[in-house]
Amino acid sequence: MATIKIPPVLRASVGGEREVEADGADVGTVLHALAAQHPATQSQLFGADGELNRYVNVYLNDEDVRVLGGLQTNVGEGDTLVILPAMAGGER
Amino acid sequence: MPTGAEVIREVKGRIDEVDPGTVHADLESGNGNAPVLIDVRESDEFEAGHIPGARHVPRGHLESRIEGAAPDRSQRVVLYCASGNRSALAADTLERLLGYEHVESMTGGITLWKDRGYDVEVPRRLTKEQRERYSRHILIPEVGLEGQQKLLDAKVLLLGAGALGSPTSLYLTAAGVGTIGIVDNDVVDLSNLQRQVIHTTDRIGESKVESAQLTMKALNPDVDVRTFDLRLDASNIMEVLQSEDWDVVVDGLDNFPTRYLLNDASVRLRIPVVSAAILGFDGQLSVFEPYVGPCYRCLFPTPPPAELAPSCGANGVLGVLPGTMGMLSATEAIKLIIGKGDTLTGRLLLYDALAATFTELKVRRDPDCPICSRAPDDITDEEMGVFPDYEAFCAAAG
């Protein structure tokens, strides 16, 4: 079971949770499990081609999964996935 | 009882001494023999001129401050004073009482050093008031007189006099950053005051940059405040960024298009950017040093679609959150200026105020980055800030 940290802009899609747990042996499977639990996240995370949207960064612990094996990156028990869309707010 | 002169002779007999010629050669060689050089004279003597690169630990504060200047007891330490007596006594203290393993006292002190024709650095003097105002900086070895002088010489441009810009400008002003530019075209609104602490209730309706300048000048008249009452866009960004020789830009901008524009312009001009963003209870912070680490486009190559980019309208934010993030920004700016510590270059710091957790993520340079994979001169005006139309971008957000 991996822990997924949900960014503020996606929390409404997961019932307000800040962290969600999901099962899977690799990053893609974990994120698809998240999308199965919370369907509103599907289009926010994945494009029509099934790849991660380019504006969403996903980190396995502290490393960008694109530097690792992308969606095929192995996820171990107790690993944390961080979903990170850009935030712009300086809030005037 | 022995006389003072006899004690000094006896001490000199048991410590190691080193000739200024050897010290000079070791400092110049860059071959790893360079010692930590410590000036043990009084402050007024140090300020009248010292050996370049020397750290200042007056003999009267030797025991309490030496670890800040030379934390590793096994490293080679050379002490000097005016003529070699005080440094001999200090070397004896370091060796016998504090366990320093490789201490030498320079014979003849700075007097002999000067006679040999070697360089002496004469620091510019701070006024008496500045010495007092910045005394708590001067006491930390990482800042010291040298760092304070760097701060006084530094020029920092703050983008936004709002929630993030308020704490950043207050603390950089207090720290004595010599020139602070501040860019904003907004006016102070009652709803700003829950977090924008540089403004005051009696300034509602006034220009934010003017209001910020009033507070900053009242806090520290040393600081030269330059105001830019404008909204940064493609037509003026190069002019603003080139209006001074800015050392650091601190980005507290409130929207994506300008963040991309700032990134492209700052890479082109090779100006490091401290970049913070906030939403609700969450903050992000990183440092983008062009060609040293990744740029904003390496981290976020594509802006999110409007529905995932709540930067267009009013959003809630816990008032203290921009305080926290703005002060972390000010800390990074100061470290960039004084050249100490490890900045957030190549790292993204996430702060979750509700959970009280910090998360650190690695940010890599993208070898295919459309901006920073190329030489600065190759980035054209037309390419800068390429981004979907902002009006359309926000309209789509509904």
Give the residue-averaged pLDDT of B96-111: 96
**CA separation for the pair B25, B27 (Å, rounded):** 6
Residue A41 within any structural domain of the chain:
yes
Task: Please give the pLDDT value at position B213.
Answer: 98
Contacts of A42 in chain B (CB under 8 A): none
Question: Which residue type is seen at B284?
Answer: Q
Binding-face residues of B in 5-64 toward A, CB within 8 A:
none
Whether residues A91 and B280 touch (CB distance < 8 A) is answered with no
Length of chain B: 398
- B210 pLDDT above the threshold of 50: yes
Residue B167 touches chain A, beta carbons under 8 Å: no
In angstroms, what separates the C-alpha of A66 from chain B's closest C-alpha? Answer: 10
The b/e string for A19-55 (b: 16+ C-beta within 10 A; e otherwise) is ebebebebbbbbbbbbbeebeebeebbbeeeeebbeb
Option in B159, B251, B310 nearest A9 (CB): B310
B207 close to A (CB below 8 A): no
Percent of chain B with pLDDT over 90: 79
Please state, as a whole number, how many other Cβ atoms lie within 10 Å of the Cβ of residue B270: 11
Q: Which among A7, A62, A90 has CB closest to B362?
A: A62
Between residues 241 and 300 of chain B, which touch chain A (CB distance below 8 Å)? 251-256, 259, 276-282, 284, 299-300
* Rounded Cα–Cα distance for residues B151 and B172 (Å): 9
pTM given for the model: 0.76
**Ramachandran region, residue B84 (left: φ > 0; alpha: ψ -120 to 50; beta: rest):** left
A92 domain residue, yes or no:
no
* Lowest mean pLDDT segment, chosen from B198-212, B278-292, B383-397: B383-397
User: Considering only residues 178 to 197 of chain B, which have any Cβ-Cβ distance to chain A shorter than 8 Å?
Assistant: 184, 186, 192, 195
Candidates B279, B320, B393, partner chain A, best to mutate (most A CBs within 10 A): B279
* The pLDDT of residue B287: 98
Residue A70 falls within a domain, yes or no? yes
How many structural domains are present in chain A? 1
Q: What is the amino acid identity at position A67?
A: V
Q: Between vectors from CA B293 to CA B393 and to CA B288, what angle results, nearest 5°?
A: 45
For chain A, which residues score pLDDT lower than 70?
A: 88-92
Query: What confidence score (pLDDT) does residue B116 get?
Result: 94
Measure in Å the smallest separation between the Cα of A61 and chain B Cα atoms.
8
Nearest one of B382, B314, B321 to B353, comparing CA atoms: B321
Interface residue A40 vs chain B (CB under 8 A):
no
Widest Cα–Cα separation across chain B: 91
B363-372: b (≥16 Cβ within 10 Å) or e:
bebbeebebb
Predicted local distance difference test score (pLDDT) of residue A88: 64
pLDDT at B398: 38
* Mean of the per-residue pLDDT values of chain B: 92
Picking from B184, B282, B357 by the largest number of A CB atoms within 10 A of its own CB, the best residue to mutate is B282
Q: Measured between CA atoms, how close is B38 to chain A, in angstroms? A: 40
In chain B, residues with a C-beta closer than 8 Å to the C-beta of A54 are 301-302
pLDDT value of residue B397:
45
Least CB-CB distance to A90: which of B277, B280, B281? B277
pLDDT digits (tens, 9 = 90+) for B110-159: 999 999 999 999 877 789 999 999 999 999 999 999 999 999 999 999 99
Closest CA to B275 of B224, B174, B189, B344: B344
Q: Write the Ramachandran bin of A26: left for phi over 0, alpha for psi from -120 to 50, otherwise beta.
A: beta
Lowest mean pLDDT among B63-67, B77-81, B250-254, B342-346: B250-254
Q: Which domain holds residue A9?
A: 2-85
We report the CATH number of the domain holding residue A32 as 3.10.20.30
Q: Is the pLDDT of residue B209 over 50?
A: yes
Whether A66 maps to a domain, the answer reads yes
- Chain B contact set for A9 (CB, 8 A): 279, 304, 308-310
A91 in any annotated domain: no
Residue A69 lies in a domain: yes
Q: Which residues of A touch B193 (CB under 8 A)?
A: none
What are B103's strand-pairing partners?
B77
Q: Which of B359, B363, B369 to mutate to test the interface with A (most CBs of A within 10 A)?
A: B359
Please report which helix (H) or strand (E) contains residue B80, including its range.
strand B76-80
- Nearest-Cα residue of chain B relative to residue A63: B362
- Least confident segment among B219-223, B254-258, B332-336: B254-258
Beta carbons of A91 and B305 less than 8 Å apart: no
Nearest CB to B255; choose among A18, A67, A88: A88
Residue B302, pLDDT score:
83
